Every structure is written in C-alpha cells, then in structure tokens.
Structure 1
Amino acid sequence: MRIAGVDGGQTGLRLRVVGPDGSTATATSGGFDYDAGDPAATILALVKQAWARLPAAERRPVARVGMGLTGDHRPDEVRRIEAGVADLLGAPEVRVAHDSVTAHLGALAGKPGVVVVAGTGVVALARTGSGTTGATARVDGWGHLLGDEGGGFAVGRHGLRAALAAYDGRGPRTLLAAAAADRFGPLDGLPRRLYGTGGTVADVASFSRQVADVARAGDPVAAAIWHDGVTALVDTTRAAVSRYLELAASRPDTTVPVSWAGGLMGVADLVREPWRRRVETEIPRAHVVDPAGDGLDGAVLLAEDA
C-alpha cells in the first residue's frame, strides 16, 4: 500500500511518499503562519508545491495520508485541507492531526510518554497509550502572542527587545544591538520592517540564530536569554510529566519516557543539553530518551495506523 506523510510547520513543510516495498521519496516547500488569513489555502498550496517537486514516477495516487500541522485549525478548515489533499494525492483517506501528535508518534515510535516540541513555537504532548490511543494532554502551544515560551520566536523577540533597550540606553550594553542592525538594518527603522509584513513570526524567530552566535561570543545578555528559554522548556516539561502521571494514575515508582522534537532542540550547546541535564536533575520521574524519529516519521505512522 502506498501512503504519504506530511509534516507542516512555520518554517517548512515536508511530504514523504512510502511505497509498498518501503521505498521513500521526500520533497519540501515553505512554511506557513498559522494565524494567516486563509491557512487552509496556504497549506494546500504548499502541499501542491511539495508534490510537484517529487520525481514524476512518485506522483501516483496513495491509499492514505497522515498530516501533522502546526496550529489549531477550525473544523471547516480541516475539512478543506482533507478534501484538497485527497484530490491532489488521489487518496481515499486523509488524517489531519496537530503537529504535536505526529512529533510524539515519531519521537517515541508510537509508545506512551511525553514529547517536548521546540521550534519556532513550543508545545508538549503527554500520551498514556500506544499509537493514537490513550488519554492525552497538551501543555503550551498557545502561539507566539500567548505562549510558546522558550521557542525560537520567544528567543528572537527577547533578543530584539534587548537590542532596542541597549540602543535606547534603557538596558545594558550588548552585542545584540550590532547583530540586530546587521540583520535588519538601522534599529530606528526596525518596527517598520517587522510590523505588518506578513513574515513577522519567521523574521523574529530567525534572529534566534544571531542570539546564539552572540551568546557563544560571551555576551551575558544573550546568554541569559538562552538560560531563561531553557528554564521555560523545563517548566513545560515538568507540567507535561505531571499531567501524564495524573492521566495514567501511575504508581509512585513510575518513570515517564521524555523525548524531544523540533529544530530548536538541534541547538545542542544552548538548548538540548542544558534542558536534558536539568530535566534529569529537577524532574525525578522523567527518563529522557533520544528520539526514534521526527515529525515526518510520525506523520507516516499516523497514515499507517490501522
């Protein structure tokens, strides 16, 4: 049976076709802002773009599609996405889930536990059953205006705030001011370049790379931003582990598998390793395990799940 998986987030969308023999073909397209005017249309356009980038021999109908998408979409939007993808890929069945679900499936290979997803935004998912069974609880994932603490957008935003505070004389001197000017141009024009461009979330989140560079250069302001981000991720992890234990009505000696997903966790020195050390030290019931796969692997598992 030919199936397909789609992993769509704010920084990119990936599509993978898996053949009956296990062979795979993967293509990518751009990301999307989940509070865009018409997210369903944007997602469908990106899926179409990725599908067109597959080798011609792979653009044949599939039996089922699993999709993990960032953001909470309205029922009518989900129906439009399902119908559009079904038509494009010739699929009788399309399954759409939040990207935390597919990240969880991929990282823990469908097993119970907690997965913390840290990319542009942040969300943690606790699931007590295998596959898509069992009770679930989400922590954070409230979007860049209300939550996503410790994510790439939050780090970039704090970096830009620190740069502007230094520029004004309201805050300590920091190399972030020069980094922001190099990245965006003169700081007195920064609001005009960011507000109302349609790419504000991605642009701000992308500045997290400069915040990392400046922190590695020894800047204490930038280093503090990353420390605070890790603290937020640890707090999110702690809450998700607590929710898991409540849902599972676990024995006092139960340990909870905890893994991770998302591009920000790829920043090993400033994020993943400090987060891992603190989770293992500060959350005794948590057992941190390396991810078995990623969100695209999870989307394929969603399509495979009977």
Structure 2
Amino acid sequence: MTGASVLAIDAGQTGMKVRLQHGSDTRDVLFGGIRTHELLLPQLADVVHAAIRDTGATPEIVTAGISGLTDRDADAGALLGLLRDTGIREAALAHDSTTSFLGALGDTRGAVVAAGTGVVTLAVGRDAVARVDGWGYLMGDAGSGYWIGREALDAVMRAYDGRGPQTRLTDVVRERWPQLDQAYISLQATDDRVSVIASFAASVARLAADGDEVALTITTSAAHQLALSVTTAIGQVAHPDDRLSVCAIGGVFRSAVLAGAFSDVLTRDSHDFDITLVSPLGEGIDGAIALADLGSKHPLSAAVHSARAT
C-alpha cells in the first residue's frame, strides 16, 4: 500500500466511520449504520461516493470491516464494479471481528471481544483462528448492547405483571412508552427496533452503578456471557505454553461494573491459560486501514475478501 490513498470503513449497525488516509494525512467522516434488511454492497458504495464527494479525496484502495458480513455479501469485485467511476482500483472486505482484532491487538496473538449493539469474539493463535458468537440479535450476540437492552425490557414487563422484582428501569422505559401495556406494539412497528432496544443498555449501566439490583444482575450476566465467549475462543487456539493477550472493546465495556465483572470472571475461569487483559492499540477503523497492508502469511489473511481492478 506504500504511497497509496486508502478509504477505510468501519461499518456497524449503529454507525459507519470512514477514514481517508494518504500518508500521514487522515480525515474521518461519520455516516448512519448498516440497514440489515437492505443489500449491503450498494450501501457501502453510497458511503464511498458520499465520502469522496464531501472530502474531495481520490482514494485508490477501499477497505471495510463489516458487522455481520456473510459470504453472500463479501464480493469485493462486485463492490469495485459499483465504484468504477471513482478511480478506486483495489477492495478488501472482512468481517468486523477481523478488523476489530487488527485494530486492538495488531500482530499480537490473543483474543478480542468487541461488544457494541452486537458482539463477536475472535481469537488468533500460532496456527489457528476461532470466532465465537457474532450470530446476530435473533440467534446470538450474548452480552451485547442489544442483549442487555432486551433483558432490561423483559425485566420491566415482568415487574409490570408482578412476575419479577421492581426496578428503576421501569421509569426509563416509561420515558419512551408511557403506557407500558402498549410498548410492545410501538416497538414492533419501529424499523430501527434493534438500535432502540440496544439504547437501553446505557441506562442499565447507569442504574447498575447506582445499585439497582435488577440492572446489576443483567450487567453481571452480560459479563459472564462475554467472558465465556473469550475463554471458549482461546481454548480453540491456545497451546499449553502460549501467553495470550485479551482485549475488550466496544461501548458495552464503558460500564465500569460490567468491565470489572468481566475481568473478575475472566481471571477466575481462564486458569488453564496464561492470559493478560490489555488495553487496545487502536479501534476498528485502524483495523480496517490495516487490511490494505495485511500480508498473505498473517493468520487472518484467509478471512479477507480482496479484488483488484483489471
């Protein structure tokens, strides 16, 4: 990539960050999140066109780390076809677990758990790679912002019915839906229901820190789920004498209660491994930039879908 201009995208469900980098010159632009009910590649192409229009940049390479990327959508050649008018000549696409890992740990071996609206864990060892969860809000994402928000709504309605303990989360939910018995109808009719549900995770974090027992239970349960994903992933890649780093990133870990519980559970349950909890080197967007220079011998290179214009 030496000397080449890169347009990198960190594409999540809540938002998309675009970074235009040429040498030491870097500019970031923000866009709305992926609409999971629409085709992915046209959305990425629209973001690239908009970023170029807004900044006047002339990138040669486009890279993207994408939440929930599937083989069906991982067609870098097709994306280049949608960008034929831009002068971009190379494209590299990867699941955001790959770019989260590269951004957080670079070439270090270990595991990264990235928990925002969704969650995915990726572990990279000497000769193996393991992904755990990242299966979306309908089938997985245990411990994610959506998972926490969904648990909060469930707890509020249990309290409303008399099936569960009272919680100050009820007041939070009533701020959005004053009539709790009508809330489910309004939520089901909302196109952005995933982000709406995930938005309650911030209130769970705040009330857990304030001592609300229901919020605290949800938070510690999320921490257990996230720690389980990490130890499971590490168990699939580690050798007995490996020393591995673990990095926890994403908005969910802004909760001091959750982060502390996660560290405690990880320390308790990872006695079979020599691991160290470390701070991230960078973010997902840094990992997206790194795709442009990822060598073919890197363990994660097989997870990157690339194409070059002819």
Distance 1:171 1:158 in 2: 12
Give the Å deviation of 1:79. 4.5
Give yes or no for the alignment of 1:279 onto 2:266.
yes
2:22 maps to which residue? 19
1:105 maps to which residue? 102
1:154 maps to which residue? 147
Q: Structure 1 158/28 Cα, relative in aligned 2: closer, same or farther at 3 Å?
A: same
SS of aligned partner of 1:292: coil
Q: Structure 1 85/13 Cα, relative in aligned 2: closer, same or farther at 3 Å?
A: farther
Give the Å deviation of 1:85. 6.2
1:168-179 matches, cutoff 5 A: 168-179=161-172
Q: Which residue identity is paired with 1:258? A: V
2:300 maps to which residue? none
Give yes or no for the alignment of 1:216 onto 2:212.
no
Give yes or no for the alignment of 1:236 onto 2:233.
no
Distance 1:72 1:210 in 2: 29
Give the Å deviation of 1:76. 5.1
2:277 maps to which residue? 288
Give the Å deviation of 1:258. 1.2
TM value normalised by structure 2: 0.87
Distance 1:211 1:88 in 2: 46
Cα displacement string for residues 145-184 of structure 1 (whole angstroms, at most 9, x for unaligned residues): 1110000000000001111111111211111111101133
Contact 1:85/1:94, CA 8 A, preserved across alignment: no
1:10 maps to which residue? 13
Contact 1:63/1:93, CA 8 A, preserved across alignment: yes
SS of aligned partner of 1:235: helix
Q: Which residue identity is paired with 1:259? A: C
2:134 to 118, 134, 141: 141
Q: Which residue identity is paired with 1:75? A: R
Cα displacement string for residues 250-285 of structure 1 (whole angstroms, at most 9, x for unaligned residues): 2x2322211122221233x12223212321332131
* Stretch moving more, 6-15 or 277-286: 277-286
Could you tell me which runs of 5 or more consecutive residues in structure 2 were left unpaired when the two chains were aligned.
296-310
SS of aligned partner of 1:87: coil
Give the Å deviation of 1:203. 0.4
Aligned length: 290
Distance 1:185 1:52 in 2: 43
SS of aligned partner of 1:141: coil
Give yes or no for the alignment of 1:207 onto 2:174.
no
SS of aligned partner of 2:136: coil
1:188-199 matches, cutoff 5 A: 188-199=181-192
Distance 2:51 2:219 in 1: 34
Distance 2:179 2:160 in 1: 10
SS of aligned partner of 1:174: coil
Give yes or no for the alignment of 1:257 onto 2:245.
yes
Q: Provide the aligned C-alpha RMSD in A.
A: 2.0
Distance 1:182 1:84 in 2: 46
Q: Which residue identity is paired with 1:2? A: S
2:257 to 260, 270, 273: 270
Q: Structure 1 217/84 Cα, relative in aligned 2: closer, same or farther at 3 Å?
A: farther
TM value normalised by structure 1: 0.88
